[in-house]
Structure formats: structure tokens, C-alpha cells
Amino acid sequence: MTPLSFIAIANQVAQLSKDPSTKVGALIFGPGMEVRAQGWNGFPRGVIDSEERLNDRPTKYQFVVHAEANAIANAARSGVAIEGCSLLVTALHPCNDCAKLLIQSGIKKVYAPLPADDERWADSFEVAATMFREAGVVVEFY
């Protein structure tokens, strides 16, 4: 089994997202290739994810927790250690905010799609790449 074997599982996790336009899944796994946590993009627990909110992009962006952040939160909520683990994310390269959380939580390697060629996210992806490089987090694109 290789880390990229988790892509199919992460894609299934992404389908749990109620976002009508973008579904992202993330898996955190340990050195022994055991899945420790999963996450998908969605509203925080207990917050109403109505169609009205989900279909209004500015509102949705204020509410949505990214898949990477949800995976970290799910690990913490379950008392699962993730320091020294790897993360695989589908659909999008981690943004700068998720990069900060991944670095702070001790993730050592990130498997991600190539950054999207989208002006809206270019600065965020560039800052994320800089932080990963400076913090010694290895990023492997697939």
C-alpha cells in the first residue's frame, strides 16, 4: 500500500460534503499507513447547513471549515495523536490557513493535487507553499 492508495478513500469522504460546488476530502494517516482521522469541507458541527447558505458563495465561505481543518479537529476531538503523520487531500491544494494548522499540528508530509490555476487562490497557495518549505513539511503532488 502506498499513500496514494488513499485517494479513493479520500474521494469517498469528500462525498460527505454538502457543498453543491466543491467537495474536498482529507485523510490523516500514520507512518504505518493507518488512517487516524478524516475530514471534509462543511459547516461546523451543530450549525445549520441550509441550501440558502450553501448556495450563496459569500455566506458559504464564512461558514465552511476546510477538509484539512476538519480532519485535524476530528483527530483532536477523538484524542488521536497526529504529530509526525501525513495528510492526503483531494480536489484542492491546502490554503494558507490550512497550511498553518497542518504545520502547527505536526503533519510532516502532505499529498495534494497541483495548485489550481485560479487567480482567487494563487496568493494563498503561494503562501502555503512558502510556509510548508520553511517548516520542513514535504509536499508531494499527484
Q: Give me the active site residues, please.
A: 68
What is the 8-class DSSP label of residue 3? G
CA 61, CA 81: separation in Å to the nearest integer?
29
CA 133, CA 113: separation in Å to the nearest integer?
17
Q: How many residues belong to the chain?
A: 142
Contacting residues for 15 by C-beta, under 8 A, at least 6 apart: 23, 25, 40
